[in-house]
Amino acid sequence: MASEKICVVVVSGTRERLQMAAMVASVAAVSGIEVTVFLSMNAVPYFIKGASTDAPGEGGIADLMVKKKAPDFKTLFPDPHAEGVRFYNKTGIYPINHGMVIKREIVEKHPWVALNIYKAFERANEIAEAQRREAVEYHLEVGLLAPEARAALATPVLHHGIRRNRKVLAAAAQYSCEQGLTPRVMNLEELFAPSTMEQ
């Protein structure tokens, strides 16, 4: 039987892990799942109200960037927005910028975990879409957006699951191989839990 509870264990005080823990906890919470968050002692200081210290970046690269006073990142393209529109119109791909990783041993012991996390994200996405459409109504009513924008805004751009993201996931697998991140093009069936393949 599927569980309606989730525990988030934060074992590091690094910025990336804190962001991921906050994302998982908030998605589960808005999906109606009971959430318990456990913090290790090195993560606690960043949750104290009024804390003035930012969490450090993770790993040697982050340390080196701080030590060397590396300049802020710059955009690759002069007009990133125009390039994003061009790429989307050409490929139909809206790049995925987050994924969830679950240890294989956890999925093998508790097969329901992967599907429950997917369902939590899907429900949170439905809520966010509804809120977004509701908020935009004000702009439509006062003429800040043209009436034809309503149809465009009713078309979801973000989708969760393998089935609706197969094209972008296959492209990511191809790019990963081309850029030397993986030794070969990985099959999606090797990367995702069987219970999520048709979602």
| DSSP, residue by residue, 115-150 | HHHHHHHHHHHHHHHHHHHHHHHHHHHTTSS-TTHH
Between 72 and 43, residue with greater pLDDT: 43
At 98-157, the pLDDT tens digits run 788 888 899 899 989 999 999 998 898 888 888 888 888 888 899 998 988 888 888 888
| Amino acid 1: pLDDT | 39
| Count of alpha carbons within 13 angstroms of residue 110, beta-carbon side | 13
3-state SS assignment for residue 186: coil
The whole-chain average pLDDT of the chain stands at 82
| 9: enclosing H helix or E strand | strand 5-10
Q: Which residue has the tokens 């996405």?
A: 125
At 127-143, the pLDDT tens digits run 888 888 888 888 889 99
| Amino acid 52: pLDDT | 65
- The whole-number average pLDDT for the span 14-23 is 73
Residue type, 68: K
Between 91 and 37, residue with greater pLDDT: 91
- pTM equals 0.58
What residue segments make up the domains of the chain, in order of their start? 1-74, 76-199
**Cα separation values, 111 from 49, 141, 187, Å:** 38, 47, 20
Q: Compute the distance between CA of residue 8 and CA of residue 38 in angstroms, rounded to an integer.
A: 6
| Amino acid 169: pLDDT | 93
- The whole-number average pLDDT for the span 52-79 is 71
Length of the chain as a residue count: 199
Both tokens assigned to 197: 């393949």
